[in-house]
């Protein structure tokens, strides 16, 4: 596994209030430069202030590389375009979690291992029955994921590499059953057990939709799902992954850390955007398809409305995942003979936004969530299940990032500073 140490650079100087701090600098394998400011407060009394960690790297990582200016995304060095067109989701999961693509034998063994752990005990799945029928699946999945730790309670110590290996497999193998259980609960349907001999994507669709033994998943559906899962598999230090790492930095176990990542993903500014995009498109459709009105609302700060599925903290040119998904969207709908008027609305909306100076100047482009929902809909996945689908895809990334941090052994507990702006000391006066 390639995990090169960053190359030291020339020290930088920070001069503040007449005090000088020599900061070590270093460069990553893709030439990203960093300044180590960990001694800044001790030497000068200052801390850095960085709203939203927009300019902060709390870690080095050898998993995923992202160049937002040039629209590059690579898992372990492999371009996302190549992985998306030539791999399966489990190959990519193996790559993220182990550092290299599996050989044929390794892949077969990995698939077998996943298959042998894919069943979740029915007594545990009864957990879903306590929720209201309309419960959001992301809430149920958060609870179920942390709940899994109770089954393996004696084997969750993050310091034990063998336990980590087992728990990584268990999570990846069992999350499809949990996701399908959340869906079936909302539909009021009986849960369906996983079926041996099916690939990961087919088995998931089987647990979601099978009504009888004759259910089989068309190959175009398997291909579309596989593609979406790969595109969502990792995205370096995004909000949910940083959450997984932050929680894990306290030595919380893998299940607890990933469950926290699921809650972070739920927000509409992160993974919840895929659901929000679909709701926005439906709203536009109901409103007679008035694109100009939507664009005007998104530009009006007082409206509190943003164009969902647009903009990204890091991508400032294009999101390579969105490009792939847009092409796939057309293909999937065509092969499945589906016409979805929301796709036309989405395309018109994109076209109008990309011509508008507001979006051009702020470098706002469609992101991964803009077109993914239209594919999910074609696969008959309902809108409130879009974000769980994102979580299903992101699982190997969360696991890989947590594993890298824990096994690296150098991460300190995440504990940011603040600048206090409340009352200064005052006395309590009674009576």
Question: Residues interacting with ligand COA, by CB under 6 A?
Answer: 52, 269-270, 273, 298, 306-313, 362, 364, 367-369
Catalytic residue ranges: 312, 369
What's the closest the beta carbon of residue 346 comes to ligand COA, in angstroms? 13
Got the DSSP string for 189-211? Answer: -------TT--HHHHHHHHHH--
CA–CA separation, 95 and 89 (whole Å): 10
Got the DSSP string for 91-116? Answer: HHHHHHHHSSPPPHHHHHHHHHHHHH
Our CB check for ligand COA shows the closer of 185 and 306 to be 306
| Residue of closest CB approach to ligand COA | 311
Determine the Cα angle at 309 with ends 373 and 366, to 5°. 105
What's the closest the beta carbon of residue 270 comes to ligand COA, in angstroms? 6
**218, 343, 346 from 336: Cα distances, Å:** 10, 14, 19
What's the closest the beta carbon of residue 348 comes to ligand COA, in angstroms? 16
Our CB check for ligand COA shows the closer of 307 and 333 to be 307
**153, 232, 235, 285, 351 from 297: Cα distances, Å:** 50, 29, 30, 15, 16
What's the closest the beta carbon of residue 305 comes to ligand COA, in angstroms? 8
Residues 6+ apart with CB under 8 A from 313: 52, 54, 68
What's the closest the beta carbon of residue 113 comes to ligand COA, in angstroms? 32
**54, 241, 316 from 58: Cα distances, Å:** 11, 12, 22
Phi/psi for 354 (5° steps) reads -70, -15
Report residue 325 as tokens: 């998904």
């Amino acid at each position: 596994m390639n995990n090169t140490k960053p190359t030291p650079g020339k020290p930088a100087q920070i001069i503040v209030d007449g005090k000088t701090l020599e900061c070590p600098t270093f460069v990553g394998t893709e030439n990203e430069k960093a300044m180590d400011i960990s001694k800044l407060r001790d030497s000068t009394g200052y801390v850095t202030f960085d709203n939203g960690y927009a300019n902060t790297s709390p870690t080095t990582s050898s998993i995923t590389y992202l160049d937002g200016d040039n629209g590059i995304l690579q898992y372990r060095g492999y371009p996302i375009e190549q992985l998306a067109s030539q791999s399966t989701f489990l190959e990519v999961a193996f790559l993220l979690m182990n550092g290299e693509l599996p050989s044929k034998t390794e892949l077969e063994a990995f698939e077998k291992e996943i298959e042998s752990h894919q069943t979740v005990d029915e007594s545990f799945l009864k957990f879903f029955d306590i929720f209201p029928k309309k419960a959001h699946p992301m809430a149920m999945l958060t609870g179920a994921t942390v709940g899994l730790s109770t089954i393996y309670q004696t084997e969750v110590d993050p310091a034990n590499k063998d336990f980590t290996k087992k728990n990584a497999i268990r999570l990846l193998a069992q999350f499809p059953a949990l996701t399908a259980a959340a869906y079936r609960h909302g539909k009021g349907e009986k849960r369906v057990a996983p079926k041996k001999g099916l690939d990961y994507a087919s088995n998931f669709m089987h647990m979601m939709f099978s009504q009888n033994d004759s259910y089989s998943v068309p190959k175009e559906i398997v291909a579309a799902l596989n593609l979406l899962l790969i595109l969502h598999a990792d995205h370096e230090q995004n909000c949910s992954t940083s959450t997984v790492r932050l929680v894990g930095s306290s030595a919380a176990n893998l299940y607890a850390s990933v469950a926290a990542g699921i809650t972070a993903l739920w927000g509409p500014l992160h993974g919840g955007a895929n659901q929000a995009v679909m709701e926005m498109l439906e709203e536009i459709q109901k409103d007679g398809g008035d694109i100009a009105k939507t664009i005007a609302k998104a530009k009006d700060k007082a409206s509190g409305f943003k164009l969902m599925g647009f903009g990204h903290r890091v991508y400032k040119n294009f999101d390579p995942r969105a490009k792939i998904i847009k092409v796939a969207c057309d293909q999937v709908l065509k092969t499945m003979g589906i016409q979805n008027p929301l796709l036309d609305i989405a395309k018109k909306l994109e076209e109008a936004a990309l011509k508008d100076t507001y979006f051009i100047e702020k470098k706002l482009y469609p992101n991964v969530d803009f077109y993914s929902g239209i594919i999910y809909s074609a696969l008959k996945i309902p809108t409130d299940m879009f974000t769980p689908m994102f979580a299903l895809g992101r699982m190997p990334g969360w696991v890989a990032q947590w594993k890298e941090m824990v096994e690296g052994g150098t991460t300190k507990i995440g504990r940011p500073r603040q600048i206090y702006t409340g009352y200064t000391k005052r006395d309590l006066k009674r009576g």
